[in-house]
Amino acid sequence: MLKDLLSVIKDSDYISKSNISERLNISEELVEEGFEQLIRMGYIKEDVRGVKCDIGCGGCPYAKSCDKVPIKTIKITEKGERLLAK
């Protein structure tokens, strides 16, 4: 399941968990869990939404928007690429 998931990620232009769940015929919750597991095992990397303000601007009025990037992106790591090449 994990390897299938990884190759679907590789082939996709964008990630839609509902699409993937349909393609792999597994529930969306399992897709979600699969993503978490791939991250835990280091096959993919997820960009955490934005960055934390660590330039000591805690008092900056815009500090709140620092970690509020609304979009998640995923990258296949070298370990993941190695697996796909096999």
Partner 1 sequence: MGTIALVGNPNSGKTTLFNALTGSNQHVGNWPGVTVEKKEGKFKYNGNIYNIVDLPGTYSLGAFSEDEIVARDFILRGNSDVVINVVDATNIERNLYLTTQLLEMGVKVIIALNMIDEAKAKNIQLGIKALSKKLGVPVVPTVASKRKGIDELIKETVGLIDEKMSLKPTISYGDKIDGEIKSIKGFLAGKTLEYPPRWIAIKLIEGDQYVHDLVTEDKDLDSDNEFRDILSRIKENDEDYELEIVNRRYEFVKDVTKASVIRPKEAVKTITDKMDKILIHKYFGLPIFILIMFAMFQLTFVIGEDLLGEMMVTVMDALAYAIEIFLININSPAWIIAFTTEGLIGGIGAIIEFIPLIVVLYMLLGILEDSGYMARAAYIMDNIMRKLGLQGKTFISMIVGFGCNVPGVMATRTLESKKDRMIAILINPFMSCGAKLLIYLVFIAAFFPDSGGLVLFIMYFTGILVALIMGKVFSKTLFKGESADFIMELPPYRKPTLRNVLRNIWDNVSEFLKRAGTIIFAVVAILWVMAVLPVGVEPYGAESVLGKIGLFIAPIFKPAGFGTWQAAVGLFSGIAAKEAVVTTLGMVYAGVGEGTELISAIQNAFTPLTSISFMIMTLLYTPCAATIATIKKETNSVKWAIFAMVYTFAIGWVMAVLIFQIGRLLGFN
User: For residue 49, how many other CB atoms are within 10 A of its CB?
Assistant: 12
| Residue 66 binds to partner 1 (criterion: CB under 8 A) | yes
Token pair of 38 as six digits: 């791939």
DSSP 17-70: HHHHHHHHTS-HHHHHHHHHHHHHTTSEEE--SS----SS-TT-TTHHHHT---
| Residue 18 binds to partner 1 (criterion: CB under 8 A) | yes
Binding string, residues 40-59; x marks residues near partner 1 by CB under 8 A: xx-----x--xx-x-x-x--
- Residues in the site for partner 1, rule: CB under 8 A? 1-3, 9, 12-19, 26-30, 32-34, 36-37, 40-41, 47, 50-51, 53, 55, 57, 60-62, 64-66, 68-76, 79, 82-83, 86
